[in-house]
Amino acid sequence: MIDLRSDTLTKPTPEMLDVILSAEVGDDVFGEDPTVNHLEEKIAAKFGHEAALFCVSATMSNQIAIRVNTSPQDEVICDKNAHIYKYEGGGMMANSHVSVRLLDGDRGRITAAQIQENINPDNVHFPRTKLVAIENTMNKGGGCCYNLKEVQKIREICVGNNLRTHLDGARIFNALVASGESALDWGSQFDTISICFSKGLGAPVGSALLGSKETIDHARRVRKIFGGGWRQAGYLAAACNYALDNHIDRLKEDHIKASEIGKCLAKRPFIKEVIPVETNIIIAECEGVEAEKLVRIFRDHGILCFTFSSTQIRLVTHLDISIDQMNDAVTIINAMKI
């Protein structure tokens, strides 16, 4: 099977496993796990932030970010397809008691002008607008990337209106590799950033939340009450350290593989359109066949993928898909008759 369902499916490489097994660990709730401490310092420095918090999942780091950036009754602005809204089980409401203002972005990318229009006036009727959250790359938008210039405008508006900014950067390294922009330039636009190590970077578990020292001290208290205080987490942090050192540049290869598969799909009669492939995610609109049926047909031919809506399928390339498997997938798709 060529498994293109998600970039979370990767398993540690033998080299990563070696690093895990030889990790120096301690009790992280006591702040005594040297491998966790090293990871937190390293990832914070990469984005020019003061501090970082190693978390279980990017859902957890997003949820903690929303909690530390808001107070109950505040409002969060994000795109209608944002992961924090759509795929985190209503956590914003349950964990932080905030309301959400959903914007209709271009493939999930909201603009400074849209945000400006949706900031509530200071009036007792309205929730207080407090946080703007954007996602890069945008999963629902087919892994598309934000323009840094637009993000700088967003930051200006937020600073001018006393709003906090959060980046759901589960796949930020895919965006940076695709655009050639620097982590520091992106880091300076946000109060908090959530980064996932268990997607394209290929670590088994883990995410990080970045922010100021004060914000991360607060975040550490929130993580504790979410049940996320962990002990010898260094075994997992070791994998994330390894991924940061070895698995960033190679994301280029995932993007090439996605682009090849996307080009091949676009030519097939059962596909109406492929959303332009910018990184490692391919979203294809089906033609004359339901997405669910197409996914079953793909599976019968040895390719696993997801339905993304009733008319769309999603395929994702990652570390565990070799160039040979990509070529096989292209051959299979080219030969498929429906």
Ligand X SMILES: *Cc1c(COP(=O)(O)O)cnc(C)c1O
Interacting span for ligand X (CB under 6 A) from 38-46, 51-59, 69-77, 327-335: 51-59
In the complex, the smallest distance separating the C-beta of residue 89 from ligand X, rounded to whole angstroms, is 10
Among residues 168 and 254, whose Cβ is nearest to ligand X?
168
Q: CB-side exposure of 244: number of CA atoms within 13 Å? A: 23
**Which amino acid makes up residue 243?**
A
In the complex, the smallest distance separating the C-beta of residue 146 from ligand X, rounded to whole angstroms, is 12
Residue 56 · residue 183 · CB < 8 Å: no
Number of amino acids touching ligand X (CB under 6 A): 12
**Residues within window 178-197 making contact with ligand X, judged by CB under 6 A:** 196
* Residue 304 neighbours by CB under 8 Å, 6+ apart: 1, 2, 3, 4, 5, 298
- Contact call for residue 168 and ligand X (CB under 6 A): yes
In the complex, the smallest distance separating the C-beta of residue 222 from ligand X, rounded to whole angstroms, is 16
**Residues within window 55-114 making contact with ligand X, judged by CB under 6 A:** 57-59, 62, 83
In the complex, the smallest distance separating the C-beta of residue 189 from ligand X, rounded to whole angstroms, is 17
Among residues 95 and 198, whose Cβ is nearest to ligand X?
198
In the complex, the smallest distance separating the C-beta of residue 190 from ligand X, rounded to whole angstroms, is 14
Q: Is the peptide bond before 70 cis (omega within 30 degrees of 0)?
A: no
Cα 249 to Cα 34, 108, 216, 244, 329, distances in angstroms: 26, 25, 28, 9, 23
Coil, strand or helix at 2: strand
* Residue 67 neighbours by CB under 8 Å, 6+ apart: 95, 96, 222
* Separation CA 144–CA 147 (nearest Å): 10
Residue 60 · residue 207 · CB < 8 Å: yes
In the complex, the smallest distance separating the C-beta of residue 267 from ligand X, rounded to whole angstroms, is 28
Q: CB-side exposure of 212: number of CA atoms within 13 Å? A: 9
Among residues 209 and 261, whose Cβ is nearest to ligand X?
209
In the complex, the smallest distance separating the C-beta of residue 300 from ligand X, rounded to whole angstroms, is 27
Identified binder of ligand X from the candidate list 2, 170, 329, 333, rule CB under 6 A: 170
Give, to the nearest 10 degrees, the angle between helix 14-21 and helix 234-246.
140
The contact mask relative to ligand X for 199-238 (x = CB under 6 A, - = no) is: --------x-------------------------------
Shortest-Cβ-distance residue relative to ligand X? 58
Identified binder of ligand X from the candidate list 10, 69, 129, 198, rule CB under 6 A: 198
Q: Which residues of 245-273 are buried (b: 16+ CB within 10 A; e: fewer)?
A: eebbeebebbbebbbbbbebbbebebbee
**Residues within window 120-139 making contact with ligand X, judged by CB under 6 A:** 135, 139
Rule CB under 6 A: which residues touch ligand X? 57-59, 62, 83, 135, 139, 168, 170, 196, 198, 207
